Amino acid sequence: MKSGKQTLGNWLAAAAVYLQPRVVGMIFLGFSAGLPFLLVFSTLSAWLRDEGIARTTIGFFSWIGITYSIKFFWAPVVDRLPLPLLTRLLGKRRSWLLLAQSIIAIGLVGMALTDPHTDLTRIAVFALLVAFGSATQDITVDAYRIEAVDKRLQGAMAATYVLGYRVALLAAGAGAFYIAAAHSWSMAYLVMAALMVVGISATLVIREPLHRIDQRTRELEARLESHVGAVARDSVYARLVAWFSDAVVSPFVEFFQRNGALAIVILLLVGSYKLSDITMGVMANPFYLDLGFSKTDIANITKLFGFFMTIAGAGLGGILVVRYGIMRPLLAGAILIAATNLLFVWLAVSEPHLSTLAIVISADNLSGGLATAAFIAYLSSLTNTAYTATQYALFSSLMTLPAKFIGGFAGWIVDSAGYASFFLYAGLLGVPAILLVLYLAQRQEAAHTRRA
């Protein structure tokens, strides 16, 4: 009996992580990060199509999304460049957050006040401004999240971030549609711009995290500066070379130096962990429609069950990271992502029923939420706080690029072999991630044993 009470107490203590002020604060930063995403993607596409803009033109607008995939190019600037006056008043992370959020709000107002019929180019420029501000905000929020708390709390920070992000997607998706139907698309975008006050207020309330650069990192930067001949910094050119060495070269050298031969294995895991999940997602909605489910049924089940089960999964993932560390929840997430594809195989060969769809969607989103929380915690643990923004931006880009490429073949596989074979294939794509997590966990355990 005592053991049972002790176990319950341990779980309650782990769940209490969600009462931490900085963990709660991530809800609002997550909302601010999620709000602009759909407003330059599917919501914008709907607005343009509703105004009678040609589909070919709307397709070209999707290129704006490339901004999110190349954000690692300017992440070193966010990491190292202070903003005049703002950095002195707010600190490094909060100053960049406020700048990015202001850019997003200005861009959304600009889109709202522009007529797509008379000035489509201006809409594109403002949308690109929103995407740039949004990607910059993502860089800074990730850096703040990693630096604000220790590794044990990263799963919980990821969970509350996902909650805020998902709520923002509802606001920028369904919310924008409701406002546009009642008033106009311009009014919808003005309201979305006003909602950026949520993130701006959070930025002004939160405390600036500590920025720690250990002695080993300082010595590494000094050695690299010496190699490129920029130690003296006696000219503008030398200072620029030294800055580039410290901000761009050092983060990559430091990561490989710190992890040694395991660096390649870690990068393989980063690139493969979401392969199964993203590849399956490409064909999910066409699959539901081909089974004969109505758009209303799909929306109700995927949005209702999907939203709550994703939040529940992310919340559970955060608790598991506090309770068991990162590697075991990371392994559980990898196994569950691959295993839930077997449920889609079952759905593909069964008679379609709403109850069956609800079960599959619930399991898929629960496992996806858990895996996301554990994986974000893992990626966060890989960074050096001297280069938080740069290293995490690189990891997040590597996380999606291979999956997006392989996901492009999803339709061809379905056409060639059918849905059941496709979902089995998608599940098998998750096996390398499982094996890589097992290998890294064993190496980590062996390292702990040697130190003990």
pLDDT tens readout for residues 40-91: 877 888 788 778 887 777 767 777 877 887 888 888 888 888 899 999 999 9
Residues 6+ apart with CB under 8 A from 296: none
Q: Are residues 332 and 223 in the same domain?
A: no
The reply to whether 10 falls in a domain is: no
The reply to whether 106 falls in a domain is: yes
Q: Are residues 236 and 307 in the same domain?
A: no
Mean of pLDDT values over 342-358: 88
The pair of structure tokens assigned to 112 is 């709202």
Q: Which of 33-42, 353-362, 427-436 has the highest mean pLDDT?
A: 427-436
- What CATH number corresponds to the domain at position 437? 1.20.1250.20
Range of the domain at 230: 213-253
Q: Are residues 27 and 102 in the same domain?
A: yes
- CB 289 within 8 Å of CB 414: no
The reply to whether 29 falls in a domain is: yes
The more confidently predicted of residues 218 and 325 is 325
The pair of structure tokens assigned to 235 is 């000219």
- What percent of the chain has a predicted confidence (pLDDT) above 70? 92
Q: Are residues 341 and 301 in the same domain?
A: yes
Residues 6+ apart with CB under 8 A from 109: 189, 190, 193
The reply to whether 3 falls in a domain is: no
The reply to whether 53 falls in a domain is: yes
Q: Look at the alpha carbons of 197, 305, 135, 329 in this order and tell me if their dihedral is positive or negative.
A: positive
Q: Decide which of 253, 278, 311 is a domain's last residue.
A: 253
Q: What is the DSSP letter of 174?
A: I
Q: How confident is the model at residue 14 (pLDDT cuts 50, 70, 90)?
A: low
Per the prediction, the chain carries an average pLDDT of 85
Give the CB-side neighbour count of residue 94, counting CA atoms within 13 A: 19
Q: How confident is the model at residue 210 (pLDDT cuts 50, 70, 90)?
A: confident
Q: How confident is the model at residue 269 (pLDDT cuts 50, 70, 90)?
A: very high
Q: How confident is the model at residue 315 (pLDDT cuts 50, 70, 90)?
A: confident
Q: Are residues 115 and 240 in the same domain?
A: no
Q: Are residues 309 and 438 in the same domain?
A: yes
Output the pLDDT for position 4: 60
Output the pLDDT for position 12: 65
Q: Are residues 235 and 293 in the same domain?
A: no
Rounded CA separation 207/20 (Å): 13
Does the pLDDT of residue 238 top 80, yes or no? no
The pair of structure tokens assigned to 212 is 């720690």
Mean of pLDDT values over 319-336: 90
**Other beta carbons within 10 Å of 218:** 12
- CB 167 within 8 Å of CB 131: no
Q: Are residues 84 and 131 in the same domain?
A: yes
Mean of pLDDT values over 353-374: 89
Does the pLDDT of residue 407 top 80, yes or no? no
Output the pLDDT for position 137: 96
Q: What is the pLDDT of residues 135-154, one digit of tens each?
A: 999 999 989 998 888 777 88
Least reliable range by pLDDT among 114-123, 137-146, 237-246: 237-246
Q: Are residues 93 and 172 in the same domain?
A: yes
Helix or strand (DSSP H, E) at 446: helix 431-451
Domain count, the chain: 3
Least reliable range by pLDDT among 231-235, 333-337, 405-409: 231-235
Q: Are residues 224 and 201 in the same domain?
A: no
The reply to whether 7 falls in a domain is: no
Q: Look at the alpha carbons of 78, 71, 318, 436 in this order and tell me if their dihedral is positive or negative.
A: negative
Output the pLDDT for position 133: 96
The reply to whether 9 falls in a domain is: no
Q: Are residues 177 and 156 in the same domain?
A: yes
Output the pLDDT for position 323: 83
Q: How confident is the model at residue 232 (pLDDT cuts 50, 70, 90)?
A: low
The reply to whether 11 falls in a domain is: no
- What percent of the chain has a predicted confidence (pLDDT) above 90? 30
The pair of structure tokens assigned to 353 is 């029923």
Q: Are residues 194 and 95 in the same domain?
A: yes
- CB 142 within 8 Å of CB 388: yes
Q: Which residues of 227-246 are buried (b: 16+ CB within 10 A; e: fewer)?
A: eeebeeeeeeebeebbbebb
Supply the DSSP string of 139-154, one letter for each residue. Answer: HHHHHHHHHHS-GGGH
